[in-house]
Structure 1
Amino acid sequence: MDQITVPRNDREARIWGMLCHLSSLLWIPLLIMGLPIPLANLAGPLMIWLNKRNKYRFVKVHGKESINFQISITLYATIILTIFTAFAWAFFILIGGIKGFDRNSWLELFKLIEFWLWCLASILGIIDSLLVTMASIAAQYGRVYRYPFTLRFLR
Structure 2
Amino acid sequence: MDEQNLTPIPSQEVRQWAMFCHLAALAGLVFPFGNLLGPLIVWQLKRELDPFIDEQGKEALNFQITVSIAMLVCMLLMVVVIGFLLLPLICLAALVLAIIGGIKANEGKAYRYPLCWRLVK
Say whether the fold is shared (TM-score over 0.5).
yes
**Which amino acid is the alignment partner of residue 60 of structure 1?**
D
Q: Deviations over 1:1-54 (max 9, x none)?
A: xx995525x1100000000000101122x2xxxxx51x2101111001111111
Mark the structure with the bigger radius of gyration. 1
Spell out, residue by residue over 1:43-76, the C-alpha distance to the aligned partner (whole angstroms, 9 max, x if none). Answer: 1110011111111111100000000000001101
The Cα RMSD (Å) is 2.2
Q: Equivalent residue for 2:46?
A: 52
Is 1:61–2:55 an aligned residue pair?
A: yes
- Closer, same or farther in 2 for the Cα pair 1:6/1:41, shift >3 Å? farther
Matched, 1:15 2:16: yes
Q: Which segments of 5 or more consecutive residues in structure 2 lack a partner in the other structure?
A: none
* 1:72 paired residue number: 66
Distance of aligned partners of 1:65 and 1:81 in 2 relative to their CA distance in 1, 3 Å threshold: same
Letter in 2 for 1:150: C
In 1, distance between residues paired with 2:8 and 2:52?
A: 7
- TM-score w.r.t. the length of structure 1 is 0.68
- 1:42 is matched with 36
Note the C-alpha offset of 1:133. 1.1
Number of equivalenced pairs:
117
> How far apart are the structure 2 equivalents of 1:5 and 1:57?
13
Partner in structure 2 of residue 95 of structure 1: none
The aligned runs of 1:22-33 (5 Å cut-off) are 22-28=23-29, 30=30
Matches within 5 A, 1:69-148: 69-85=63-79, 87=80, 117=84, 119-148=85-114
Give unmatched runs, 5+ long, in structure 1: 31-35, 89-112
Identity %: 31
- How far, CA to CA, are the matches of 1:79 and 1:129 in structure 2? 18
Which segments of structure 1 move beyond 3 Å, counting only runs of 4 or more? 3-6
In 2, Cα distance between equivalents of 1:6 and 1:73: 31
CA contact (8 A) 1:24 1:70 kept: yes
| Higher normalized contact order (CA 8 Å, seq sep 6+, divided by chain length) | 1
